[in-house]
Amino acid sequence: MEERRILLAVTGGIAAYKTPELVRALRRAGHAVRCAMTRAAAEFVSPLALQTVSGHAVRSALFDAAEEGQIDHIALADWAELVIVAPATAHSLARFAAGLADDLVSTVVLATRAPLLLAPAMNVNMWRHPATAHNVAVLSERGAHWVGPDAGELACGWEGEGRMSDPARIAERANELLGPRDFAGVRVLVTAGGTREPIDSVRYVGNRSSGRMGFAVAEEAAARGADVTVIAANVSLPRADGVRYEDVETAAQLEEAARRHFPDADVLVMAAAVADFRPPAAEGTKLSKTGRDALELRLEPTTDVLAALSAERRPGQTLVGFAAEHGPEGVERARGKLERKGLDAVVVNDISREDIGFDSGDNEVTIVTAAGERPLAKAPKAEIARAIVDLVEEVRHERRPA
């Protein structure tokens, strides 16, 4: 693999003694590694040992003039393409879940925009405790990735889950998350969120799309080297470094932005929930309820943006649409959409379920292509995004000359 930048954050558990071997495994894979550690971690592994195997001074203090002179803690957070916390103790998971930032490691974890890979290590009863389970759920919802813990004999004498995964497995998981740079130089346009069509000065016709799925696709493509632009319709999510964002509100604004960016795009992923209908014109003031027994609202159809763009596609462009459907019949309807609009793939969301899709960190979809259906089991949206980008790469690969 090409060299990538990995920050290893070591917290105070007995498994910290394995971290020099983890650094060696990451460096054997060709990566640049820097280390940060808590004061408690230094009780289990020598900073000098980590410095020797990484080739860089080890950071441990948040307020140390000498260390800040080398590279300040925010620059360290920005430098990393992946942050690994190994071992991740029960205490550190609680701190990360609470958003604390009063030591170097917790501050870097809070400040970084890089993916976070956690390798838990603790007593089995601590791992099974409801507080730890809650913290794991909170961090997973925020997009954290996990490796382990493994089950077996623990340093404390107990048997069960809580062993930190072997350094080789953690390094393997890191390589999976870093992924290939197979989208280097590819221009990807993603639409995300849901449009709002104004009724009057305060009310609108809208939908529940949060934009999480589109943002996850954009971040996955960017992590694999793509030049990514996101057209975000009313999305209030954090913005990733290295991705350009253009905010819009209405279907007309989204259409205008998409038409402007589409000619230069190699890939379009239309994840936004664009309104099918809108009021012909919005009232300039707030409609009053006084004196009204009822309010009739007339709606007109909006432009089918994806169909319009597909009609203008140039050779070599890859187009992926999304379909929000109720129930299993949605896959067949998506196939009609695939053929009617001339798309390469349609990602079908079953919006009849409350545990996936809108406002959820998880999704379960079926990707429909001309070759068939590809069901994806329920998983975090980051994993669904990875599968979608993998599919795009397959389509692009098939079109390349032999």
Q: How is the chain split among helix, strand and coil, in percent rounded to 5?
A: 35, 25, 40
Tell me which CATH homologous superfamily contains domain 5-178. Flavin prenyltransferase-like (3.40.50.1950)
Give me the residue spans of the domains in the chain: 5-178, 187-399
**Residue 278 CB partners (closer than 8 Å, separation 6+):** 197, 205, 250, 251, 299, 300, 302
CATH topology identical between 5-178 and 187-399? yes
**Residue 93 CB partners (closer than 8 Å, separation 6+):** 118, 120, 132, 135, 136, 139
Assess whether 35 carries a catalytic annotation.
Answer: no
**Residue 37 CB partners (closer than 8 Å, separation 6+):** 9, 10, 11, 16, 45, 47, 50, 58, 59, 60, 104, 105
Q: Contact 50/16 with Cβ under 8 angstroms?
A: no
Task: Out of 74, 156, 202, 370, pick the active-site residue.
Answer: 156
Question: For residue 254, what pLDDT is reported?
Answer: 97
Task: Round to the nearest angstrom and report the end-to-end CA distance of the chain.
Answer: 24
Q: How far apart are CA 372 and CA 390, in angstroms?
A: 16
Q: Specify the residue for token string 């197979």.
A: 182
Q: Specify the residue for token string 């960016």.
A: 261
Question: For residue 10, what pLDDT is reported?
Answer: 96
pLDDT in tens, the chain (402 residues): 567 899 999 999 999 999 999 999 999 988 999 999 999 999 999 999 999 999 999 998 877 666 555 567 788 888 999 999 999 999 999 999 999 998 999 999 999 988 999 999 998 889 999 999 999 999 988 889 999 888 777 776 777 788 899 999 899 889 878 877 789 889 999 999 999 999 988 899 988 889 999 999 999 998 888 999 999 999 998 887 679 999 999 999 999 999 999 999 999 999 999 999 999 988 888 888 887 888 888 999 999 999 999 999 999 999 999 988 766 677 888 888 899 999 999 999 877 666 655 666 788 889 999 888 899 888 888 889 999 999 999 999 887 665
In the structure encoding, which two tokens stand for residue 386, read together?
């990875």
Question: For residue 284, what pLDDT is reported?
Answer: 82
Tell me which CATH homologous superfamily contains domain 187-399. CoaB-like (3.40.50.10300)
CA count, 13 A, side-chain hemisphere, 18: 22
CA count, 13 A, side-chain hemisphere, 280: 4
The pTM assigned to this predicted structure is 0.65
Question: For residue 327, what pLDDT is reported?
Answer: 65
Question: For residue 67, what pLDDT is reported?
Answer: 56
Rg value, the chain, Cα: 24
Question: For residue 9, what pLDDT is reported?
Answer: 95
